[in-house]
Structures are given as structure tokens and as C-alpha cells.
Amino acid sequence: MRRYLAARRDADFEKVRSLYSTSEHFRSIGTGFNEWHDVESFQSIIQQDWSSYDVETDEVRRLEGFENGETGWVALEADRRAAWGHTWTYRLTVVFVLEQGAWRAVQTHFSAPVDDTVLHGPALTRTLSELMQSIDGPIVGSNARTGTVVFTDIVGSTSLSETMGDAAWSDTVGGHFEELRIVVTANGGTVVKTLGDGGMFVFDAATPALRTVSEIQEANIEGPLPLRIGVHTGDLVAGDGDVLGATVAKAARVTAAAEGGKALISATTVGTVNPTEFSFGPPISLQLKGLSGTHVVHELT
């Protein structure tokens, strides 16, 4: 495996080829949808595709191997730096067989490690799930309007409640929601529902919603309770005291993607407010579980 890394770094493609099996059972699988090669197609791309960039270094993070008679495997994780300066982490699993007295790769699988949230979208916390379920019912006397939804969710509530004890935790959360209610209503918002350690609030426009979020963060209302906050603007369906619709679902998903102490704002919401009044971080592209496509959010800074 180390000989392979050295040959790849030196662009010695004949040496690289010699380290691969010529068996009809050879397979090489990469991260691209079409990267499933047999021996013929793989040998043809080694120089054609690989010579398009130079490898400067491969810094090995982990390298493990196992031998069992005439077969063996290697698992590699490394940071690769290209000649133009780009660096990325990759993983390579290789199955070797002995051919004519030399170890040659008969199967390779190349991948790039990514977080599950990138692949599957962030999962809703129990609180956000319960909030969604509590408003996911029949709509009586409904009417549609446009509004901005704000979700808050206390991060690490289970460990905090165990540390504080049930009575102290109940008092703390109760005081927390009362402070939130005061700020929300002062900015013209409505408390739709609080449940467990999360809250849902609705505003007629994005500007008062973001002013509320800013005040929550600046006044440190969360105190010892680190909040994740998510905001999205769109069509809402109101009825029987609840607010429903795809806008609510997306706001909850955006909240789930936020870290403690952070507020993520959908690009839709950002586009409806005066950019001189608020400060936002760079765009972040997310896969949101249950929602198709890529969704752009900004951190409210």
C-alpha cells in the first residue's frame, strides 16, 4: 500500500498499474455514480483521468492490514494534498490477492467521509418532533396567510435536567418560556405552542421575527440553557389555534440543523429583510430530512 502511495505521488502510472490485478473479477468502486469499473475500464482511466492533477502528499491518518494466506486487505484513511494546494480526506479499502508472488489489488473501494446530516439531513430532536406532531391534526376553519415561523429548542436538556433535578428544571424552563413570551409578544409575535423544552412562535413578517431572535441572543435569555433557533418564511395554514403547512416543517428542520447558541435563518427569510438591519454569515447548503433538494440557510450573527 505504501508503494502504491509513493507511485501515485510520483505519477509513476506504470508502477501503479503493476500493483493492480488483471483478473476478470477485478472491481474498483469510487464515490461517483458511474465509478464502478472492471479491469479494462479501470486500467484505461489510470493515466487518462489521474494525470489531470498532481498529488503532492498523502498524509496517512490510519493504515491497517490483514493477511490470510493468498488474500488480504488494507484499510487506509489519508489527507491528500494536490499540487495546486487543495486538500481533502479520503478512505480506501483494498482487497489483495497474491499473483505471481506479488500482492495485487483485486477490489478497491474509494470514499470520502461525510457526516450523516449531509447524507440524510439533520434529524428532528424529540422536542421538535413532539411539537410537529402536536400541530399535525385536522384543520378547522382554516385560512392561509404568509408569515414567519420561529422554533426554539433547548440543547442538552436531558443532561441539564438530571443535573438540576426535576423541581429546579421545571422552574427554570417555566421562567425561560415566560421570558420568551414577553419578547415575542413585544415584537408583535404569537406564541403558538410550547412543549417540553421547545417553543413555536409565528410573526406576520420576517423583520420582527429576526428582531426577536436578536433580542433573545443579545439579552442572553437562554442563560444556562443553550438554544438552537430556526426561522423560515412562507405560506401558513391557520386553524383551531394551530399553524400548519410546509413552512412549519421546514422551519423545524432548519432548527434541527443549528448548533447550540446558534440561529439559522432560511435564505427565503434573509431575502425579505433589510440587509442593513441584520448581519448574516455566509450561505450554508443543507440537505433537510424529508424535504427534497438543497436548502440554503444563513447564521444570524
Query: pLDDT value at position 240?
Result: 58
The 3-state DSSP class for residue 120 equals helix
Query: pLDDT value at position 138?
Result: 46
When pLDDT is averaged across residues 4-8 and rounded to a whole number, the result is 90
d(CA 81, CA 216): 43
Please state, as a whole number, how many other Cβ atoms lie within 10 Å of the Cβ of residue 262. Answer: 19
Q: Which residue has the cell 440537505?
A: 287
pLDDT band at 121 (very low <50, low <70, confident <90, very high): low
Query: pLDDT value at position 223?
Result: 55
Q: Where are the alpha helices (DSSP H) in the chain?
A: 2-9, 13-18, 39-50, 116-120, 126-134, 157-164, 166-186, 206-218, 246-257, 267-270
Highest mean pLDDT, choosing among 44-48, 171-175, 228-232: 228-232
When pLDDT is averaged across residues 221-244 and rounded to a whole number, the result is 76
- Check: CB of residue 155 under 8 Å from CB of residue 260: yes
- Which three cell numbers mark 70? 493468498
Query: pLDDT value at position 226?
Result: 80
Worst-scoring range by mean pLDDT, 16-20, 170-174, 293-297? 170-174
Average pLDDT score over the chain: 85
Residue 141: pLDDT above 60? no
Highest mean pLDDT, choosing among 8-22, 139-153, 216-230: 8-22
pLDDT in tens, 144-156: 788 999 999 988 7
Query: pLDDT value at position 85?
Result: 74
Closest CA to 180 of 170, 193, 168, 163: 193
Q: Select the more confidently predicted residue: 187 or 85.
A: 187
First and final C-alpha spacing in the chain: 46
Q: Which residue has the cell 412543549?
A: 195
Show me where the domains of the chain are located.
2-113, 117-299
Rounded to 5 degrees, φ, ψ at 270 are: -60, -40
Assign domain 2-113 to a CATH class: alpha beta
Its CATH architecture, for the domain 117-299, is: 2-Layer Sandwich (3.30)
Worst-scoring range by mean pLDDT, 24-33, 232-241, 278-287? 232-241
The 3-state DSSP class for residue 272 equals coil
Query: pLDDT value at position 230?
Result: 95
Residue 136: pLDDT above 80? no
Q: Helix-strand-coil percent breakdown of the chain, rounded to 5?
A: 35, 35, 30
